């Protein structure tokens, strides 16, 4: 046994050594890579600025990214928009080349970048876009440019918007699981996913209203960019060109061009610069500025305790109330910070944690102005945090609102019978099994749970009313768990201003009493980790004990999966917290 353990230890150490070597080699490779021979040169040189957009565009700093130099990190969406704004006033920048390679965009992300590009073109500088293929949002973004290029054999897929929601009630029923939840809000659709076979009439109304508004915004902006009528744009979408040649003939795009041909043409105006190199100058300007606005990114689900995923944003992390409150308290005491912008991208989560963060934001705002800037989503608990700020800024396509609450559990008794699990329980207290029992709620338990969620809903609409200058009754009329687009939320008074992070920073500076021509820099939080920071954190996590259910192989794969499902659902049910969450996020594709 000792020999076997020693062998395993040696194999583990060898594997770790190989992993570290690969990470170091990969890190050095990334550090030295210059973007390839076809890229416009890096650094601040005269010519075109290349805005390369590919893969996931992070709204918050990727603090868990592997990099030896924090300055070498990927740009956030807000930084990309700021780069365009800087280029607009830079006499060395001829124009902007938007190089699209299947970037993952939300409607709000596309609007953030598109707004910056529209401002640049209105200033008189040209914008040229190129891609191998265009779908709804990449084309929407490209429509801000005066020239849209497509690969000669590229595929145009501008097909209109689609919303699909998934319902698990029948699947759970076949497994012997019953979702037993209580909610406040006719439109609070999160629990319908587990309890119903189709959306309720209220949800159908909500989804149709939202997609109507998103589609209107999409087609109106494309029409303005392409100098066509909205009717012409909608006709193109209803009968879309499906080949590159047809897309050009029908005016969807301007030129069929290979990427290297376009790059060679743009280089005639000078070597130019790429956005990553150009951003280093922008960050340097921010550090030297007389006044500093902190931009605190809050991304992910709101949770109780410490944040996960390497911090309170980025890398699929969570927004932990303990971590965030500490950061907010530090900002309150930091004399070098003039004002704070909360950049929120969250569907919500723990209602209690949301209220804890809400209180810390209110305390911070008593010392210096706080403005909320909503990214792709700021719904339910995400909106709860935002409403503590002095002003709320959202994009027209931001998914927001969902002022509502739910709580409950999964009843697992029938699943236990299917997999042969038995339980024995002894209790003291009539309601001791309120959230821990595998059985469905009794009438007394349901009444008590209902009392709790209705009380929190009253708190939610009361605090929202205080924030928005409305009565609880007025908020209730636009709440009820209903999700709105940013433009709709602005119309019903849940949002102050439509715009992006740049506008939120400007509003924070104005609220702090700074002059319009004041030098204002930004401090992005959380600050990025270096390669070594991330490696050290990973090793600490590896040393931490973890809990895992170990099942005998004799159970077989299907039964093992069922038992693991039972344990997982039991853990979810036993958390016992109220959820101000809206996981049904509309994805525009």
Residue 423 is predicted with a pLDDT of: 85
Sheet harboring 255-256: ordered strands across? 255-256, 147-157, 127-135, 93-104, 47-56, 273-274
Which neighbouring-strand residues pair with 383? none
Note whether residue 57 is domain-resident.
Answer: yes
Location of structure tokens 């006044």 = 291
> Are 566 and 416 in contact, with CB atoms under 8 Å apart?
yes
Cα separation, 458 vs 451, whole angstroms: 11
Closest among 191, 173, 171, 172 to 181, alpha carbons compared: 191
Cα separation, 586 vs 199, whole angstroms: 14
Per-residue pLDDT reduced to its tens digit, 131-178:
999 999 999 999 999 999 999 999 999 999 988 888 989 988 998 999
Per-residue pLDDT reduced to its tens digit, 389-405:
999 999 999 999 999 99
pLDDT surpasses 60 at 406: yes
pLDDT-derived band at 419 (thresholds 50, 70, 90) equals: confident
Per-residue pLDDT reduced to its tens digit, 315-362:
457 899 999 999 999 999 999 999 999 999 999 999 999 999 999 999
User: Cα 267 to the chain's mean position, in Å?
Assistant: 35
Cα separation, 534 vs 69, whole angstroms: 12
- Per the prediction, the chain carries an average pLDDT of 85
Domain boundary among 230, 257, 279: 279
Note whether residue 182 is domain-resident.
Answer: no
pLDDT-derived band at 535 (thresholds 50, 70, 90) equals: low
Note whether residue 18 is domain-resident.
Answer: no
Residues 407 and 269 in one domain: no
Q: How much of the chain, in percent, has pLDDT values that exceed 90?
A: 66
Secondary structure, 3-state, 224-247: HHHCCCHHHHHHHHHCCCCCHHHH
Cα separation, 196 vs 180, whole angstroms: 11
Structure tokens at 301: 């689900």
Task: Name the least confident of 8-22, 386-400, 530-544.
Answer: 8-22
Note whether residue 589 is domain-resident.
Answer: no
Residues 135 and 259 in one domain: yes
Closest among 399, 354, 405 to 190, alpha carbons compared: 405
Residues 316 and 460 in one domain: yes
> Are 161 and 143 in contact, with CB atoms under 8 Å apart?
no
> Are 119 and 82 in contact, with CB atoms under 8 Å apart?
no
Per-residue pLDDT reduced to its tens digit, 75-132:
999 999 999 999 999 999 999 999 999 999 999 999 999 999 999 999 999 999 999 9
Query: 71: which DSSP letter?
Result: G
> Are 271 and 287 in contact, with CB atoms under 8 Å apart?
no
Residues 321 and 361 in one domain: yes
Domain boundary among 255, 279, 303: 279
**At 50, which helix (H) or strand (E)?**
strand 47-56
Task: Name the least confident of 11-15, 230-234, 263-267.
Answer: 11-15
Residues 304 and 380 in one domain: yes
Q: Where are the alpha helices (DSSP H) in 153-258?
A: 169-175, 192-195, 201-226, 230-238, 244-249
Per-residue pLDDT reduced to its tens digit, 15-67:
444 444 444 434 433 332 333 333 344 445 789 999 999 998 989 887 655 55
The residue ranking higher by pLDDT, 302 or 36, is: 302
CA-CA distances (angstroms) from residue 389 to 51, 127, 324, 372? Answer: 32, 36, 15, 6
Per-residue pLDDT reduced to its tens digit, 94-110:
999 999 999 999 999 99
Note whether residue 6 is domain-resident.
Answer: no
The residue ranking higher by pLDDT, 259 or 35, is: 259
**Helix, strand or coil, per DSSP, at residue 150:** strand
Phi, psi at residue 104, to the nearest 5°?
Answer: -90, 110
Note whether residue 299 is domain-resident.
Answer: yes
Residues 386 and 256 in one domain: no
Per-residue pLDDT reduced to its tens digit, 422-463:
888 888 999 988 877 788 999 999 999 999 999 999 999 999
Residues 245 and 381 in one domain: no
Domain boundary among 256, 279, 302: 279
Cα separation, 308 vs 177, whole angstroms: 29
Residues 53 and 143 in one domain: yes
Cα separation, 587 vs 57, whole angstroms: 15
User: Count of domains in the chain?
Assistant: 2
Beta strands in 412-509 (DSSP E): 483-485, 497-498
pLDDT surpasses 60 at 311: no
The residue ranking higher by pLDDT, 584 or 168, is: 168
Cα separation, 426 vs 120, whole angstroms: 69
Residues 577 and 515 in one domain: yes
**Helix, strand or coil, per DSSP, at residue 386:** helix
Q: What CATH number corresponds to the domain at position 324?
A: 3.90.226.10
**Helix, strand or coil, per DSSP, at residue 462:** helix
Residues 314 and 271 in one domain: no
Query: Rounded mean pLDDT of 382-387?
Result: 97
pTM of this prediction? 0.85
Residue span of the structural domain in which 250 resides: 37-158+240-279
Residues 323 and 450 in one domain: yes
Note whether residue 408 is domain-resident.
Answer: yes
Note whether residue 550 is domain-resident.
Answer: no
Buried b (16+ CB within 10 A) or exposed e, 178-207: bbbbbbbbbbbbbbbbbbbeebeebbeebb
Residues 359 and 297 in one domain: yes
């Amino acid at each position: 046994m000792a020999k076997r353990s020693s062998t395993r230890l040696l194999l583990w150490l060898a594997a770790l050594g190989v992993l570290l070597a690969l990470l170091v080699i990969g890190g050095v490779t990334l550090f030295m890579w210059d973007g390839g021979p076809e890229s416009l040169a890096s650094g601040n040189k005269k010519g075109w600025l290349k805005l390369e957009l590919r893969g996931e565009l992070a709204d918050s700093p990727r603090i868990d990214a592997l990099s030896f130099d924090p300055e070498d990190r990927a740009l956030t969406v807000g930084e990309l928009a700021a780069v365009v704004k800087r280029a607009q006033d830079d006499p060395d920048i001829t124009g902007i080349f938007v190089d699209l390679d299947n970037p993952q965009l939300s409607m709000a992300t596309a609007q953030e970048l598109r707004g910056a590009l529209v401002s640049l073109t209105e200033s008189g500088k040209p914008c040229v876009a190129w891609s191998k293929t265009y779908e709804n949002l990449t084309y929407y973004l490209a429509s801000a440019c005066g020239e849209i290029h497509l690969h000669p054999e590229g595929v145009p897929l501008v097909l209109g918007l689609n919303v699909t929601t998934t319902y698990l009630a029948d699947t759970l029923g076949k497994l012997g699981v019953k979702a037993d939840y209580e909610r406040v809000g006719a439109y609070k659709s999160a629990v319908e996913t587990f309890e119903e076979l189709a959306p309720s009439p209220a949800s159908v109304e909500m989804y149709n209203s939202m997609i109507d508004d998103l589609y209107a915004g999409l087609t109106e902006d494309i029409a303005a960019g392409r100098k066509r009528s909205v009717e012409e744009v909608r006709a193109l979408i209803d009968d879309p060109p499906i080949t590159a040649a047809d897309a050009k003939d029908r005016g969807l795009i301007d030129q069929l061009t290979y990427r290297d041909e376009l790059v060679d043409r743009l280089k005639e105006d000078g070597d130019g610069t790429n956005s990553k190199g150009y951003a280093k100058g922008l960050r340097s300007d921010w550090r030297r500025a007389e006044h500093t606005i902190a931009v605190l990114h809050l991304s992910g689900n709101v949770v109780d305790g410490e944040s996960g995923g390497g911090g309170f944003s980025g890398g699929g992390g969570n927004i932990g109330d303990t971590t965030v409150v500490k950061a907010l308290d530090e900002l309150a005491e930091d004399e070098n910070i003039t004002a704070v912008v909360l950049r929120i991208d969250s569907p919500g989560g723990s209602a209690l944690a949301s209220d804890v963060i809400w209180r810390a934001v209110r305390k911070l705002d008593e010392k210096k102005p706080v403005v909320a800037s909503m990214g792709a989503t700021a719904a339910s608990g995400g909106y709860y945090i935002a409403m503590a700020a002095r002003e709320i800024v959202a994009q027209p396509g931001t998914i927001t609102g969902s002022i509502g609450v739910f709580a409950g559990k999964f009843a697992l008794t029938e699943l236990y019978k299917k997999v042969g699990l038995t339980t024995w329980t002894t209790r003291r207290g009539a309601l001791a099994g309120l959230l821990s029992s595998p059985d469905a709620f009794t009438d007394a338990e349901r009444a008590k749970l209902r009392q709790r969620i209705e009380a929190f809903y009253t708190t939610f609409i009361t605090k929202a009313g205080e924030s928005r200058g409305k009565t609880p009754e007025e908020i209730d009329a636009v709440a009820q768990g209903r999700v709105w687009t940013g433009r709709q939320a602005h119309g019903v008074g849940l949002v102050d201003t439509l715009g992006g992070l740049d506008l939120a920073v400007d509003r924070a500076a104005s609220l702090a009493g700074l002059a319009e021509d004041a030098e204002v820099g930004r401090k992005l939080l959380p600050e990025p980790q270096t390669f070594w920071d991330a490696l050290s954190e990973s090793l600490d996590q590896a040393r931490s004990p973890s809990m895992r259910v170990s099942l005998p192989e004799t159970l077989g794969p299907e039964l093992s999966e069922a038992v693991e499902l039972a344990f997982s659902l039991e853990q979810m049910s036993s958390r016992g917290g109220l959820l101000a969450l809206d996981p049904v996020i509309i994805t525009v594709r």
